[in-house]
Structures are given as C-alpha cells and as structure tokens.
Amino acid sequence: MASNSLCHLFILILSFFFLSPSHAATPSPLIFPIRKDDPTRLYYTTIMVGTPPTAVNTLLDLAGQWSWFNCDGGYNSLAYRPVACGSDTCNAAGGIGCVGCNGPARPGCTNDTCGVFPYNPFQNMQLAEGLGEDVLVVRATDGLKYTSRLHVRQFPVACVSSSALEGLPNTTTGVIALSRAMTSLPSKLWSALNLSSKVALCLPSSSKLGHGDMYIGGGPYYRPFTGSKDFSKSLLVTKLLVNPVSTAPISSEGDASFEYFVDVRAIKVDYTPVSFNNSLLDIGSNGVGGTKISTITPYTKLHSSIYKTLMKAFAEAASKKKIKKTANVAPFGLCYKMKTIGSTKAGPDVPNIVLVLQSDAQWEIKGANSMVRVSKEVMCLGFVDAGKEVTTSIVIGAHQMEENLLEFDVNSSTFAFSNSLLLQNTSCSHF
Ligand SMILES: *[C@@H]1O[C@H](CO)[C@@H](O)[C@H](O)[C@H]1NC(C)=O
Ligand SMILES: *[C@@H]1O[C@H](CO)[C@@H](O)[C@H](O)[C@H]1NC(C)=O
Ligand SMILES: *[C@@H]1O[C@H](CO)[C@@H](O)[C@H](O)[C@H]1NC(C)=O
Ligand SMILES: *[C@@H]1O[C@H](CO)[C@@H](O)[C@H](O)[C@H]1NC(C)=O
Ligand SMILES: *[C@@H]1O[C@H](CO)[C@@H](O)[C@H](O)[C@H]1NC(C)=O
Ligand SMILES: *[C@@H]1O[C@H](CO)[C@@H](O)[C@H](O)[C@H]1NC(C)=O
C-alpha cells in the first residue's frame, strides 16, 4: 500500500511537471461532471483538490463568490497555503481582516490568514473563514471526451467545519463558486489557463439518467447521439447584465453584483403576452427588480404580480387543451390530473411559456421544464410565488434549466442558450 501511494505521488509530480499550464500549447476548455441530488433537486460537481488529490463533491452556486468545503476528517493537502491577511492576493480576493486558530496547524487552521465570508444559502448564515490556495486537478476536453489532466495552482478555497454544511445536500461537503467574482472557479481557470471567459452548464434532469456537464472556457459542445454537431454554433444569444448593486449578503457600498442577470422583456403563454407591470423587469438604480439565474433555486420564483397573471394565462390556455385541474399541492398554485395531459418529445403536452429576452431571443419552456410530477396522478406548474417584497422580480430556477445548454460569457456580456435539447433528439444526461 505504502509503496503504491508513493508511486502514485511520484506519477503525480511527474505529470505536474509535464502538464503544467505554461507547457500547454493552445488552451483547451475544461469539463466537469454535473450530478443531480434528486431529493433536494440541487446539482453538484466533483472537484479534485489538493496533493494528493482528494475528490470533493461541491454544490454548484452561480451566485457564489468563494468556494469552500469541509476540511475536517483529515484533509491535509501538502499544496495548501494560507493567504496572508493584508496581502495583495487577500485584497484582490475581497478578503477583510485576519483569522487565527488555536492549532494544531492544518488546512483551515492557520494564523494571520486572510478572512473571507463563505455563504451557506440554506442556513442564511455568513461564516468568517481563512482563505487558502490549493492545487486543483482539472480535465481538458475536446468537447466530447477528456483529453488531458492539468494542475492549476493557487485555486482559492476556504476550509469550513462540518457544522457549516447544514442544509446542503448530504451528497456534498461544500460549495463551488461560479459567479463572475475574481475568486470563483471559472474566473480563476480563465485567468490561469488563458481561456475565453465562458462557463456553460448542461444540467441533467435525474441522477438515474447519468450526469450532465459543465464546460469552462467555451466550446465546442457535443451532445450524445448527435454526431459532430457542435451546439455552441446554434445557441440563441442575448445580453448578460450586471446588477449595479450587490445582491450578496455582505458587500461594500458601490459593489456590483457577482450574479448573472438577463434581460427578460416579456413573458408569453403560447403566443399571447402575459400582462403585468413591466417596470418589474427592469433593474432599478437601487438594484431591485430584473431577472437572475440561480442554480440553488429549484423552481423559478416570481414576484406575486407576475406569478398571478402567468397562472391565469396558463390556466386559460390549458383549459382550451382540455387539461383538467385538481387540488393544489404546495408550493405550487396550479395542478393538473396527469391522465388529461398528453405527451411530446419535450415532456407533457401543455401550453408553452416563453421568456422573451433582449434582442428577441425566445427561451421556450416546454412541458419537461414547466411541469413537475408530484404524485402518480398529479402534475403541477413548477413556478412559485415569491411574494411582493422581493429584491429580484424573476429568479430563474434549475427545473427550468434542465436539459438545456446555457452559456454565460462574462467578457463579452452575453448569455446564450439552446432551448430544450430534447427537441433536438439529445439531452444533458449521459453516462
Ligand atoms: C440523504 O438524504 C436523503 C433525503 O434527502 C435520505 O433519504 C438519505 O438516506 C440520506 N443519506 C444519508 C447517507 O444520510
Ligand atoms: C496561533 O498563534 C497562537 C498564539 O501565538 C498559538 O497559540 C497557536 O498555536 C497558533 N496557531 C497555529 C495554527 O499555529
Ligand atoms: C491568450 O489567448 C489569446 C487569444 O485567445 C492570445 O491572443 C494571447 O496571446 C494569449 N496569452 C497568453 C499569455 O498566452
Ligand atoms: C476579460 O477582461 C478583463 C478586463 O478587460 C481582462 O483583464 C481579462 O483578461 C479578460 N479575460 C478573458 C478571459 O478574456
Ligand atoms: C409599476 O411598478 C413600479 C415599480 O414597482 C411602480 O413605481 C409603478 O407605480 C407601477 N405602475 C403601475 C401602473 O402600477
Ligand atoms: C429527431 O429525430 C426525428 C426522428 O426520430 C427526426 O425526424 C428529426 O428530424 C430529428 N430532429 C433533429 C433536430 O435532429
């Protein structure tokens, strides 16, 4: 055993030497698997971090600024380095103050360490932890399969204790930050490997169908059963917006948001626009209003007045299709008898909900992305009422993103999407 792991370490050191980014000719995009935690309807990826590399399942959070995971239980990477408080790296990472620890020294327990504030969205609690840097082992892709492994040093990460994990899916022990913040996983990889500033998500709809993919650095994007079709060429493109006011739980005055906002201009049910106060769609100078995309929100959340008019329009269109209502099942407000609904390639045959985005890019939400099966006989419209006192009027949730390919390009400020891949005889899910 001992000699085996020594040998392993030796091979690692060798591959580190030969595959370090500076030796790579043209940067290839990177690929990470995405798995769904079915009970919580949240998504995670497995990162390989530290020396020797340890596999850690981390929740995908498009809003996250810092990545963090639980280092209790023997995580003792030889490559881990604390970031010193007051250092340039600390300032650039948005760190504040100094964090100490009574020892013994290990990753997550060091003195004079740059303080950052990992956020557990399910505890609604801010932690103060020391920021560290560690090695990340990533896989390059040609859009289809893994081509090589790369080691990226100075990946920013904070170690937390197990109590910080409360509320996360029990398949995960941390969170991977995917926002536009400089410390996020994509930002770090873009700059370390000189990749184009793109992150793309293809979320699977069920763990039983295999895994989906996250691409960092751009296309090509190939999907199962579609041969050499490169989906990066056929995405619909709209603007990606920056909310000028931070939506994070802790921020300095004047900070813009790290989250991804898009510009929904109208909502239609089939071909009919839904009417509500359209000023809810704009981001005000106070940061209130507008539309963002969230991987930690299972179902799209709408401001009450949008929700109510959408429900009404959908119910009318559904009744024309002779779809029969049944008693509501929380948290949903519109449920139907399954046996009155037909089926299509893209799920239940229900009215289409269309988000009309800036430059008239139409995000068509078909049955597979609009309906949620709550029992053998009942299916509900998978949108929820967020109330009237909301900061963001529309939070597009993960159910509406599944089996769609979505690409965020930070430097060119574009958001590109495929619509349901099921309509194109493919999906996000594969083995
Ligand atoms: C994880 O949580 C699910 C429910 O969310 C539960 O059914 C399962 O038993 C849990 N697994 C472990 C290992 O605790
Ligand atoms: C941090 O400093 C304190 C006080 O000098 C010391 O007792 C403690 O062991 C140090 N912690 C670590 C992890 O070295
Ligand atoms: C980074 O990539 C761009 C184009 O993709 C290229 O022009 C530039 O020279 C590259 N920089 C380095 C340091 O390799
Ligand atoms: C994105 O733009 C910033 C600022 O203009 C620049 O520093 C960075 O290198 C660019 N990154 C990519 C991946 O193009
Ligand atoms: C629409 O909403 C905006 C902002 O919430 C509000 O100021 C305005 O009065 C509303 N207009 C109407 C016609 O209700
Ligand atoms: C999907 O497959 C059907 C037949 O199975 C075919 O008629 C259709 O053209 C295909 N669609 C696309 C987008 O490839």
240 and 358 housed in the same domain: yes
What percentage of the chain exceeds 90 in pLDDT? Answer: 84
What percentage of the chain exceeds 70 in pLDDT? Answer: 94
Q: Is 60 exceeded by the pLDDT of residue 55?
A: yes
Domain range spanning residue 342? 231-424
236 and 97 housed in the same domain: no
Residue 322 is predicted with a pLDDT of 97
Which residue, by CA, sits nearest to atom 11 of ligand 6?
Answer: 424
Q: Is 70 exceeded by the pLDDT of residue 41?
A: yes
186 and 237 housed in the same domain: no
Q: How far is the CA of 194 from the centre of ligand 3 (A)?
A: 6
Q: Is residue 288 part of a domain?
A: yes
Burial class for 69, CB neighbours closer than 10 Å (0-12, 13-18, 19+) = buried
Closest CA to 195 of 367, 374, 409, 43: 409
116 and 258 housed in the same domain: no
Q: How far is the CA of 118 from the centre of ligand 1 (A)?
A: 24
Torsion of the alpha carbons at 188, 192, 193 and 196, rounded to the nearest 10: 50
d(Cα 251, Cα 247) in Å, to the nearest integer? 8
Burial 196-209 (b: 16+ CB within 10 A, else e): ebbbbbbbbbeeee
Q: Is residue 356 part of a domain?
A: yes
Residue 248 is predicted with a pLDDT of 74
What ligand 6 atom has the least distance to the C-alpha of 424? 13
Q: How far is the CA of 272 from the centre of ligand 5 (A)?
A: 22
Confidence band for 324, pLDDT divided at 50, 70 and 90:
very high
Which residue, by CA, sits nearest to atom 10 of ligand 5?
Answer: 277
List the single range of 75-79, 115-119, 121-125 with lowest mean pLDDT. Answer: 121-125
124 and 237 housed in the same domain: no
Which residue, by CA, sits nearest to atom 4 of ligand 6?
Answer: 425
Element at 361 (helix H, strand E): strand 361-365
Q: Is residue 200 part of a domain?
A: no
pLDDT tens, residue by residue, 381-414: 999 999 999 999 999 999 999 999 999 999 999 9
122 and 42 housed in the same domain: yes
What ligand 1 atom has the least distance to the C-alpha of 37? 5
Which residue, by CA, sits nearest to atom 11 of ligand 1?
Answer: 170
d(Cα 304, Cα 46) in Å, to the nearest integer? 37
| CATH assignment of the domain containing 370 | 2.40.70.10
289: how many CB neighbours lie within 10 A of its CB? Answer: 19
Q: Is residue 207 part of a domain?
A: no
Q: Which ligand is nearest to the CA of 346?
A: 6
Global pTM?
Answer: 0.92
186 and 241 housed in the same domain: no
287 and 391 housed in the same domain: yes
Mean pLDDT of 288-306: 97
Closest CA to 408 of 148, 137, 63, 69: 63
Residue 150: strand, helix, or coil? strand
Name the pairing type of β-strands 146-160 and 68-70: parallel
Residue 20 is predicted with a pLDDT of 44
Establish whether residue 261 lines the binding site of ligand 4, counting it when its CB lies within 6 angstroms of any ligand atom. Answer: no
159 and 246 housed in the same domain: no
342 and 409 housed in the same domain: yes
In testing the pocket of ligand 4, which one of 195, 197, 414 has its CB within 8 Å of the most ligand atoms? Answer: 197
d(Cα 147, Cα 294) in Å, to the nearest integer? 30
Q: Is 70 exceeded by the pLDDT of residue 13?
A: no
Mean pLDDT of 50-56: 96
Q: Is residue 67 part of a domain?
A: yes
Confidence band for 26, pLDDT divided at 50, 70 and 90:
low
Q: Is residue 273 part of a domain?
A: yes
What ligand 2 atom has the least distance to the C-alpha of 100? 1
298 and 188 housed in the same domain: no
On whether the CB atoms of residues 418 and 235 are closer than 8 A, the answer is yes
Taking all residues of the chain, what is their mean pLDDT, rounded to a whole number? Answer: 92
Our count of domains for the chain comes to 2
Establish whether residue 167 lines the binding site of ligand 1, counting it when its CB lies within 6 angstroms of any ligand atom. Answer: no
188 and 236 housed in the same domain: no
pLDDT tens, residue by residue, 352-375: 999 999 999 999 999 999 999 999
Q: Is residue 355 part of a domain?
A: yes
Q: Is residue 135 part of a domain?
A: yes
